[in-house]
Amino acid sequence: MYRQMVLIRRFEDHAAESYARARIGGFLHLYIGEEAVAVGALNAARPTDHLLTHYRDHGYALVRGCDPKAAMAELFGKASGLSGGRGGSMHLAEASRHFWGGHAIVGSHIPIGAGMAYAMQYQRREEVVLDFFGDGATGNGIFHEGLNMAALWQLPVVFVCENNLYGMGATLAEESPVKDMIIRAEGYTMPSRQCDGMDVFSVYEAVRTAVEHCRSGKGPFFVEAVTYRFRGHSMADPELYRDKEEVGRWRAQDPILRFGEFCVRQRISSERELEEVNEQVEQEMLEAVAFAEAAPLPEESTVADGVYANPIDPEAAGPESA
Amino acid sequence: MAELSYRAAVRDALREEMLRDESVILLGESITGYGGSYAVTKGLVEEFGPRRVMETPIAEAGIVGFAVGAAMGGLRPVAELMTVNFALLALDQIVNSAAKFHYMFGQQWSVPLVVRTVSGFGQLGATHSQSFEGWFASVPGLKVVMPATPTDAYGLLVSAIRDPDPVIFIEHSLLYSMRGPAPPSGEAGLVPLGRAQVVRQGQDVTVVAYSRMLFQALQAAETLEREDGISCEVIDLRTLRPLDYPTVVGSVRRTHRVVLCGEDWRTGGFGATLLAEIQDRCFDDLDGPVARVAMRDIPLPYARNLEHLLIPAAGDVVAAVRSLV
């Protein structure tokens, strides 16, 4: 788990650096600071459990086992990227790992997760669905529609609200009448658990309870992980809405430092071993960036491919007669 | 010859596909005990049970989002949105989820989803009397179908359910009780997506229509033949996206005149796109401007006389054809 958190951190440090070098275009939303949520949650689930996330999705992809080279190549808009260079940072996915995407319309994947959970229940399959979103999504109607259906039909879906206290530039107090997101679950009679999103164990425990609840056929479960993003909303964010002191207070709770200290204190790992992990990951990330740099762009002749799974070309058929 | 209503044709298609494929499920508002707002799904919950015919909350975006997820999980959902007016609440899920995933995620999966919904009017007021096929047809990734006859309603719906892509299937409330020849059963009844049909052959003017406007066009063609000796070729588009341009263009090249009929607003309506494409492909073949029959850019009023004034009808088609000849 330490390695996974460092992997996310270093991947994103390199992504930010590549963004500054204009190798990555568009938006880049960093997950730095929130690593314990993806790592704790996904380790508490099975690799076959279905995963849907918000657009701050790099961490989930990496923990799910996606190749960092292919993830970085997607950020670079290359053909060998996870989504073939069609998706970009916000739209990573790998269906073979049951990772069904980063979703960039806030909250839109909440009913989608409920629908997938219904398909699992209908087909009597064991997989449950993990559906991650931010506190900002809870103000959107689609959040309520999705939770309502999941509760109504008792579907095997874990909703994980990653409460990082800001909906882009809006503070929690500006966007929500409730401070604790688990209160939202009460209206749907959905059991819930709040956890410390800066503590990988706390997240792991909460999500493990949730996943077991869902897998045993008891319906949906709501987890709130209180966390903090150390960087701006996206690379374009000057962070005018929060002061440096607040950021500093949260940085002191850095989930990687906390977990590293725990490992050393408990003599699970030595400082030197952790340092070796850091170095290995750094090396791997340098390779991922080099791979993404060198990877070919998508073939321009393929730009129209895949708009449809079953393209129908009336032009090829010729005119119809009476 | 056996006859069937448009409503029964839609129900037969749903029922037969549910019998054939257990992954086909239905979901929508009041589609179980109530039988659907237009009674299309009547009896299906009794036959297939609530697991396959799901009563949903009144939550259009949630319904379509849920159906997208169910499709990704291996089912073939057919979501009913009571009318196309309410489909606006689900636009995000239709446009940003259903239509995007196959392309945007690098062809890793498709979304085999059918959204059935209904256009129409009849003193229903401005919010319940609109036509948005042009909006949906502007979105790459969607297929858009608007059947006019029971035969096509059946055959196109079966094709839509079996198709791996999201299909917006727009029925017409004023056609539900219309009867027509029963479609051939089984595979013979299939109607392929993306194929128009020349419903009436003629030499002087091409009249392009779909859904209810097909019958207005056919009625107009009769009148014009009788009163003016004008021979109209009437084309039923059936599928608006992908659009069968070869059939339309082939006809226009023979007749050199064309009238486009629709019930949606003139500005930005489906006819506007069709018009642009025809002038692009057939400019040298045209003997006059492309004429349109469309809804004036006014919210549809309730009062019977005012509504009647605005609804595109056979008389409007007749006038449009006469203006060209």
- Which residue in B has a C-alpha nearest to residue A131's C-alpha? B69
CATH at residue A79:
3.40.50.970
Query: For residue B198, which residues of chain A lie inside 8 Å, CB to CB?
Result: 320-322
B60 is catalytic: yes
Given A86, A120, A310, which is nearest B164 (Cβ)?
A: A310
Q: Which residues contact A62 (CB under 8 A, 6 or more apart)?
A: A4, A7, A8, A11, A38, A68, A71
What ipTM was predicted for this assembly?
A: 0.95
- Total-model pTM: 0.96
DSSP secondary structure of B175-221: GTT-EEEPPPSGGGG---TT--EEEE--SSEEEEE-TTHHHHHHHHH
**H helices within chain B, ranges in order?**
6-20, 44-48, 60-72, 91-92, 101-104, 133-137, 150-162, 213-228, 245-255, 270-282, 304-310, 314-324
Q: Of chain B residues 255-314, which have a CB less than 8 A from chain A? A: none
User: Which of B68, B104, B232 is the best substitution to test chain A (most A C-beta atoms within 10 A)?
Assistant: B104
What whole-number distance in Å separates Cα of residue B267 and Cα of residue B129?
A: 16
What whole-number distance in Å separates Cα of residue B74 and Cα of residue B97?
A: 16
Q: Report pLDDT digits (tens) over B124-156.
A: 999 999 999 999 999 999 999 999 999 999 999
Q: Evaluate whether residue A221 is within a structural domain.
A: yes
What whole-number distance in Å separates Cα of residue B320 and Cα of residue A129?
A: 56
Q: Evaluate whether residue A322 is within a structural domain.
A: no
Closest Cα of chain B to A322: distance in Å? 5
Given B67, B105, B197, which is nearest A83 (Cβ)?
A: B105
Report how many domains make up chain A: 1
Contact at 8 Å (CB) between B98 and B142?
Answer: yes
**Ramachandran region, residue A281 (left: φ > 0; alpha: ψ -120 to 50; beta: rest):** alpha
Query: For residue B75, which residues of chain A lie inside 8 Å, CB to CB?
Result: 118-119, 122-123
Write down the pLDDT at residue B2: 86
Closest Cα of chain B to A208: distance in Å? 23
- Partner-chain contact B105 A108, CB within 8 Å: no
Q: And the tokens for A193? A: 């658990």
Nearest to A142 by CA among B97, B47, B291, B235: B97
Decide if A120 touches B, using CB distance below 8 A.
yes
Full pLDDT tens readout for chain A, 322 residues: 999 999 999 999 999 999 999 999 999 999 999 999 999 999 999 999 999 999 999 999 999 999 999 999 999 999 999 999 999 999 999 999 999 999 999 999 999 999 999 999 999 999 999 999 999 999 999 999 999 999 999 999 999 999 999 998 899 999 999 999 999 999 999 999 999 999 999 999 999 999 999 999 999 999 999 999 999 888 888 888 988 999 999 999 999 999 999 999 999 999 999 999 999 999 999 999 999 999 999 999 999 999 999 999 988 888 876 5
Q: Evaluate whether residue A198 is within a structural domain.
A: yes
Q: Of chain B residues 62-91, which have a CB less than 8 A from chain A? A: 62-75, 77
Q: Of chain B residues 104-123, which have a CB less than 8 A from chain A? A: 104-110
**Strand bridging mode B258-265 / B291-295:** parallel
Write down the pLDDT at residue A321: 62
Q: And the tokens for B200? A: 């009436």
Given A93, A145, A317, which is nearest B195 (Cβ)?
A: A317
Quote the domain boundaries for residue A184.
2-317
Element (DSSP H or E) covering residue A126: none
What whole-number distance in Å separates Cα of residue A260 and Cα of residue A268?
A: 10
Query: For residue A123, which residues of chain B lie inside 8 Å, CB to CB?
Result: 73-75
Exactly one of B16, B17, B128, B133 is catalytic; name it: B128
Query: For residue A315, which residues of chain B lie inside 8 Å, CB to CB?
Result: 245-246
- Partner-chain contact A306 B71, CB within 8 Å: no
What whole-number distance in Å separates Cα of residue A230 and Cα of residue A248?
A: 9
Q: Evaluate whether residue A297 is within a structural domain.
A: yes
**H helices within A21-135, ranges in order?**
35-43, 58-63, 68-75, 109-122
Given A115, A149, A319, which is nearest B68 (Cβ)?
A: A115
Q: Evaluate whether residue A136 is within a structural domain.
A: yes
Domains and CATH numbers, chain B: 3-189 (3.40.50.970), 197-324 (3.40.50.920)
Query: For residue A101, which residues of chain B lie inside 8 Å, CB to CB?
Result: 101, 105
Q: Evaluate whether residue A286 is within a structural domain.
A: yes
User: Which of B66, B138, B233, B248 is the best substitution to test chain A (most A C-beta atoms within 10 A)?
Assistant: B66
- Partner-chain contact B104 A50, CB within 8 Å: no
- Partner-chain contact B140 A307, CB within 8 Å: yes
Query: For residue A145, which residues of chain B lie inside 8 Å, CB to CB?
Result: 57, 59, 61-62, 65
